[in-house]
């Protein structure tokens, strides 16, 4: 998707607002494109990358795109896919840098 055409998921604004209420700083990255995650969060001295998917959409519409899969495969740091602010907070509170999400749909495969 061209850089100028990138759009946020429908739930992104509300999710970011809720994260900020928890004291999280949030930088939007969805316009970067090329599979880059949607947001960068800073909380308690650590940074977190999150790809946001809309839980109101069917599972087929929540799959990572081919660009997102490629980006995640080459990234050597933390990145997680979330649908809610609570999921992000759970990951950040857990202190894990890489949290596999069992059952997450990635392209045409499901993580186990």
Q: Where are the domains of the chain?
A: 3-110
Q: Does domain 3-110 have CATH number 3.40.1350.10?
A: yes
pLDDT digits (tens, 9 = 90+) for 16-62: 999 999 999 999 999 999 999 999 999 999 999 999 999 999 998 99
- pTM over 0.85? The answer is no
Buried/exposed 82-94: b ≥16 CB within 10 Å, e otherwise: bbbbebbbebbee
pLDDT digits (tens, 9 = 90+) for 57-95: 999 899 999 999 999 999 999 999 999 999 999 999 985
Residue 99's closest CA among 76, 86, 81? Answer: 81
């Amino acid at each position: 998707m061209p850089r100028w055409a990138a759009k946020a998921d429908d739930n992104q604004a509300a999710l970011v607002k809720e994260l900020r209420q928890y004291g999280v700083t949030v930088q939007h990255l969805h316009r970067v494109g090329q599979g880059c995650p949607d947001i960068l969060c800073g909380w308690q001295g650590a940074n977190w990358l999150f790809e946001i998917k809309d839980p109101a959409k069917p599972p087929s519409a929540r799959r990572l795109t081919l660009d997102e899969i490629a980006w995640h495969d080459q990234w050597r740091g933390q990145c997680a896919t979330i649908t809610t602010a609570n999921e992000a907070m759970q990951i950040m509170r857990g202190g894990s840098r890489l949290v596999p999400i069992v059952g997450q749909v990635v392209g045409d495969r499901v993580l186990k």
